[in-house]
Each structure stands twice: as C-alpha cells, then as structure tokens.
C-alpha cells in the first residue's frame, strides 16, 4: 500500500514540476527574465541560482510557480505637477517602467529571490498615489514586485509581449500536463494493454433480473431469480460460457461493441446467432426482450442520477456478459481515451458547485458518495494505496493502473488550470485576450491605444478565488478522510 502512495506522490510532484517547466521554457524563449522556478509552497528546502533564475523546492508539494518580471503594466500616469513633486522628493531609475512596474507570477506578496538581494536600494522605490483600498492593494503589489527589477529589464517584461506570446507562456503549463497524460496513456495501452471486451461469452443469465437487483449484487452469482423474472433469452437459446459469437442476425461480429447495438435494437425480433464452441460452428435463434438497462457514460461506467440511482433506458437484452481481456492497443489509441477523460473532467468542472454540495452532503450524512466526483490529493493517494494492496492483481497491472491514475491527475490539472479566473493560468490568458480585444476595439473606433490591461486591479478577485480554492481543497480532504471513495470493498 505504501508503495502505491509513494508512486502517486512522486508522480504528482513530477507533474507539478513539468507544469512549471511548461511556463519556464517559453518565457525564456521570449526573453522574459524569470527570477524564480519553484516546486511547492512554504519554506524553501533547497534552492540554487543559475544565471538569472533561482531554482528551488519548497516544503509543501501542492503546487508551484514561475516568477516573471513585468506581469503588471505601469500604473496610470500622474499629472505633471504631481510628477514634478514626486521627482523632487524621490529618486529612482530613469526608465519610467522600472519605476512603476512590478512582476510576479503568483499572487503577491512574493518571496524575494536571491537575485533581488543584489538590486541596489535606489532601484526599489516606487511612487504611490493610489486612493481607496483596492487601488492601494494594486499599488502595493507593484511596489513589492518592483524589488525584482534591475537595469536592462526595459524590454524583458511580460506585459510588453505580444498577445500570442503571453498566451503561449500561460498555456505552456496546461499543455505540458496534457502531453504528459497523453504519453502516460500511450505507454500504458501499448506496453501493458487495456481491458477489452472480447466476442467470447463469459456468463449467461438464467433470468433477467431488475437493474436494481443487479446493482445490489456484488457478483453475478448473487443474482437470484424470482417467479416474476423472465427467462434469459440467451440461456433458453442454449448459449454457454466459452462460446464465441461469430454473427448476429446475419451481421458478422468482429468485436463486442458490434454486437451490443444490434441486440439493443432487436427487441422482440427473432435473430439467428452463429457461435463457435469447441472449434465447431453452431446456429441458434434468440429473441431479445425489451427491458430497462443502465445507460453507459462516456467512460463506460453506468450513469447515475442525483440520488445515486442508475439511469436506465428500455432496450433489447439477451442476458450475456462478454469475457474481458487485457489487450495491447496501438499508441495512437491514447488520443480518444485522453479526449474522453478530458470531457469527463470538464463536465465535473462545469458542475463543480453542485458536485461540492454533493460531497458535503455525503460527508455529513448517510448519502453514498459519488465515485465519479472530485477528490483531493489525499483521496488520490488513498486510491493508489488500495490499488497497490490488491495482491491478487498482477504487479504489472497494478503499476499500469497507477500510471493511468497519474495520467488522470494531469488531465485534471490541465482542465482546472484553464478556468478563466486568476490566479489560474486561464485567468492570465483571459486577461491577455481582453487586452488585445480592447486595443483592437479602440483602434477600430479611432481612439488612442488604452495600453496594457492592469491585472493587479483584479487582486481582490484573485484573493477571493484563492480563498475558495483553499476552502474547496480542505473540504475535499475532510471528505476523503471521513467518507473516502473506495474502489475495493
């Protein structure tokens, strides 16, 4: 169990580190000065300055950041009289941007890097003329961030980049997580394989029970037939476990997914079934019955409503289960898998308020927790421990499952960081796009260039979002301790 938790912890830390590399590389490519590359938050455990960047690891490995200069544009210009008064009272760099512009990646106040210690005191003075708590908050943020500035930074500040360069830098992190998820998934499905339904019959139902009875039974053998349950069509037709389905209703069957829609659409209609048993072909006739069956979600799991009950639909059914085998797939099959997982995570994010409410209800009541709902790193670690503790599962299958879990974490990091709210990457992308649209609109109207968009004015919203994220994280951790999601009973 400990091995699984350790693998997951290392996987998450590497995922975070590579996310930040996704920001670091394009930033350096576009000549933005990066002062810090940090994995984790809190006290610094280790750091080393190489060139102009301090690289380090912090105590709490629940995130990371890349600090770049010039994230904030210059403040509004003061009147000539005010500027003259301040010039007489205050001295600083000759370049006005270096006097007024700060830079940081995470919400201020930021920790000063070792590079900042070498900046002369006279270059750390920033004029303050804000009035009001929000304006003062914005100005103070720029003052703190300006401590990282030094001569020669005039053309290396983030806010001076073209919009497309800003977007590339900010999308670099999520893109790295998406690439990592794709590579892990491709490696898993091609080297180990994935569970695939074959055309061989694994079990035949003597009767067709209700979906509620099937859902309550942990294994097929526990399904008990009653007098009101109709006989299983496949059982009556003489099909047995081990038979390989070759054709249904005149249509050749190459894989189980070919058979399922044919049966569902043939309720009440007799169909010939050709099957292989002990090397010999046989033919029988089966008539699917119309019954309520669970609706499959995008990832193959049955859908459930808000009460946790199975969502059903009336379709044809003959009462057979396919044999599932681990089969290797082509690496490019990872694309559709990651796409479907991304869509599933996106649906969770879009309904996050409702999902969090459901988590709270299940935590403090007897309501069953949604296994497809959000979980914290504690829950992910717990699931990893459960997987590694299943001695009856071959070690290579357990390792492959853990790699798939790490891939899922990367998909979650990618989607979550694309939410267009600061301090998330999507919020910075939204700010850059808004700035480009504002400038374009002004140009079309023949108005003066409004200049860069000052994201420091959104600091109150940034802090509010940060508080909500922290609260959500704490709620999920509590839920994963009190009422965790379990894969195995």
The H-or-E segment that residue 293 falls in is strand 289-294
DSSP secondary structure string, 26-87?
HHHHTTPPEEEEEEEEEEEEEEEEETTEEEEEEEEEEEEEEEETT-SPPPPPPPHHHHHHHH
Q: Longest C-alpha distance within the chain, in Å?
A: 101
Strand, helix or coil at 450?
A: coil
In the Cβ-directed half-sphere of 362, how many Cα atoms lie within 13 Å?
A: 25
Nearest to 412 by CA among 375, 362, 464: 375
In the chain, what is the straight-line distance between the N-terminal and C-terminal CA atoms, in Å? 15
Does 111 participate in catalysis according to the annotation? no
Angle between helices 163-187 and 2-29 (to 10 degrees): 150
CA dihedral (286, 287, 289, 293) in degrees, to 10, reads 50
- Spot the catalytic one: 20, 54, 148, 435: 20
Contacts of 228 by beta carbon, 8 Å cutoff, 6+ apart: none
DSSP SS3 for 436? helix
Provide the pairing of β-strand 194-204 with 320-327: antiparallel
Active site residues: 20
């Amino acid at each position: 169990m400990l091995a699984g938790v350790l693998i997951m912890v290392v996987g998450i830390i590497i995922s975070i580190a590579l996310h930040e590399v996704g920001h670091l590389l394009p930033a350096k490519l576009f000549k933005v000065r990066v002062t810090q590359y940090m994995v984790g938050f809190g006290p610094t455990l280790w750091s080393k300055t190489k060139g102009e960047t301090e690289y380090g690891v912090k105590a709490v490995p629940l995130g990371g950041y890349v600090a770049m200069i010039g994230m904030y544009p210059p403040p509004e210009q003061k009147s000539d009289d005010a500027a003259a008064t301040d010039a007489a009272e205050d001295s600083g760099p000759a370049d006005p941007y270096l006097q007024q512009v700060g830079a940081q990646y995470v919400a201020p106040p930021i920790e000063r890097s070792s590079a900042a210690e070498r900046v002369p005191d006279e270059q750390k003075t920033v004029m303050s003329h804000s009035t009001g708590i929000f304006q003062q908050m914005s100005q103070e943020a720029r003052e703190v961030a300006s401590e990282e500035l030094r001569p020669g930074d005039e053309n290396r500040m983030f806010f001076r980049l073209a919009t497309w360069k800003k977007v590339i830098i900010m999308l670099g992190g999520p893109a790295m997580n998406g690439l990592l998820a794709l590579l892990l998934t491709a490696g898993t499905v091609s080297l180990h394989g994935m569970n695939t339904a074959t055309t061989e019959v694994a079990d035949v139902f003597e009767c067709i029970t209700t979906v509620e009875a099937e859902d309550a039974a942990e294994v097929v053998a526990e399904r008990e037939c009653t007098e009101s349950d109709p006989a299983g069509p496949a059982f009556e037709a003489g099909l047995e476990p081990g038979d390989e389905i070759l054709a249904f209703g005149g249509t050749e069957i190459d894989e189980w997914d070919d058979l399922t829609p044919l049966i569902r659409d043939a309720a009440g209609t007799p169909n010939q079934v050709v099957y292989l048993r002990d090397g010999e072909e046989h033919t029988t006739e089966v008539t699917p019955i119309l019954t309520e069956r669970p609706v499959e979600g995008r990832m193959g799991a049955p859908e459930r409503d808000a009460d946790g009950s199975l969502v059903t639909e009336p379709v044809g059914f003959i009462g057979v289960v396919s044999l599932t085998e681990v089969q290797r797939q082509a690496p490019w099959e990872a694309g559709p898998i990651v796409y479907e997982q991304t869509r599933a995570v996106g649906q969770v994010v879009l309904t996050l308020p409702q999902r969090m409410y459901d988590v709270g209800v299940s935590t403090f009541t007897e309501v069953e927790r949604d296994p497809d709902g959000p979980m914290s790193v504690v829950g992910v670690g717990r699931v990893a421990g459960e997987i590694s503790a299943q001695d009856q599962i071959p070690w290579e299958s357990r390792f492959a499952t853990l790699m798939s879990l790490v891939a899922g974490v990367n998909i979650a990091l990618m989607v979550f960081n694309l939410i267009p709210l600061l301090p998330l990457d999507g919020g910075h992308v939204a700010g850059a796009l808004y700035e480009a649209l504002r400038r374009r609109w002004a140009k079309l109207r023949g108005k003066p260039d409004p200049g860069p968009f000052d994201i420091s004015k959104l600091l109150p919203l940034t802090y509010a979002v940060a508080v909500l994220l922290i609260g959500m994280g704490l709620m999920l951790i509590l839920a994963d301790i009190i009422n965790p999601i379990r894969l195995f009973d």
